[in-house]
């Protein structure tokens, strides 16, 4: 339902008004959970999720090869296992360099089937992109899709105990919400962009709307108080645009059943416009 919320709010029309040529490639079909049987409680619906992610990988890679910048709409954050893998493959084949990744999220998404307390796969995609478990996701595209030295976690404020250890051990760069409070979003964003672009062929930004405070993005599955405010989120995306390094953008975790009059999708569209070049003056 997330992608439909974006369309209803006018995403294509607003991007076209920026002078962008917009092609809607349609939805990647996803099975309905209540019609499926989960076989492993530590990675629920992994076969179905991996199939969807692989189909997204193929679609995003085809878009990149056609000269487009994929804008991937979700849906939960597990889909990034497909979209980021596509960006990694394309950057390697066209620029002979690794991919930089900025993962903007209230959560780390670096659990594995061995550390998860819920079995929800949307808490695992970054671990898989770095070459870890679940293997059904890490085997999509190149593995690992990203290296820890080119990966930045930004905005995190809600981590599981074992996940904290995994993040520390992984070597990824981390800017928590405390860092943003202390140093300001502009400085943190500039540092994140510098780290993700150093020695890479471009940056994939994977933006989970739950990084924002629920005041501005109420329609997410796992809201956490104390997130980015309206201008902080826009400043981040404006600086992404200024960097001219954007390869692809994910906007995920928009859940219309939890939203208030499509507020979250409308906010996400505004953020997409900032990332694709809409400026103040």
Residues designated as active site: 77, 105, 107, 109, 122, 208, 210, 253
Q: Is the dihedral of CA 195, 243, 202, 138 positive or negative?
A: positive
Residue 246, φ and ψ in degrees, nearest 5: -70, 120
Strand partners, 249: 71, 205
Residue 177, CA atoms < 13 Å, CB-side half-sphere: 19
CA gap 100, 104 in Å, rounded? 13
Report the Cα–Cα distance between both ends of the chain, in Å, rounded: 34
Q: Which two tokens stand for residue 176?
A: 């928590």
Picking from 240, 227, 267, 253, the residue whose alpha carbon sits closest to that of residue 3 is 253
What three-state secondary structure class fits 220? Answer: coil
Burial of 62 (0-12, 13-18, 19+ CB in 10 A): middle
Q: How many helices (H) and strands (E) does the chain have?
A: 11, 6
Place of tokens 């360099």: 97
């Amino acid at each position: 339902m997330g992608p439909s919320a974006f369309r209803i709010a006018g995403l294509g029309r607003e991007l076209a008004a920026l002078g962008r040529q917009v092609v809607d490639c349609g939805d990647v079909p996803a099975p309905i959970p209540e019609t499926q049987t989960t076989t492993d409680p530590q990675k629920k619906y992994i076969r179905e999720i991996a199939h969807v992610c692989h189909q997204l990988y193929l679609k995003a890679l085809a878009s990149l090869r056609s000269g487009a910048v994929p804008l991937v709409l979700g849906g939960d954050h597990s889909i990034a296992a497909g979209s980021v893998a596509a960006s990694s493959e394309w950057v390697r084949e066209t620029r002979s360099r690794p991919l930089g990744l900025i993962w903007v999220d209230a959560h780390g998404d670096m659990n594995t089937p061995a550390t998860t307390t819920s079995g929800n796969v949307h808490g695992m995609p970054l671990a898989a992109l770095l070459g870890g478990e679940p293997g059904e996701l890490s085997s999509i595209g190149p593995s690992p899709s990203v290296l820890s030295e080119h990966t930045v976690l930004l905005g995190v404020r809600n981590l599981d105990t074992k996940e904290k250890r995994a993040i520390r051990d992984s070597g990824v760069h981390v800017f928590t919400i405390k860092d943003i409070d202390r140093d300001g979003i502009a400085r943190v964003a500039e540092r994140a962009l510098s780290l993700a672009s150093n020695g890479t062929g471009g940056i994939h930004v994977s933006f989970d709307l739950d990084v924002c405070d629920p005041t501005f993005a109420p329609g997410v599955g796992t809201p956490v108080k104390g997130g980015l405010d309206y201008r902080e989120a826009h400043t981040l995306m404006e600086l992404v645009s200024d960097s001219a390094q954007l390869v692809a953008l994910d906007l995920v975790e928009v859940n219309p059943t939890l939203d208030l009059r499509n507020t979250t999708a409308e906010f996400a569209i505004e953020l997409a416009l900032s990332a694709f070049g809409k400026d103040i003056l």
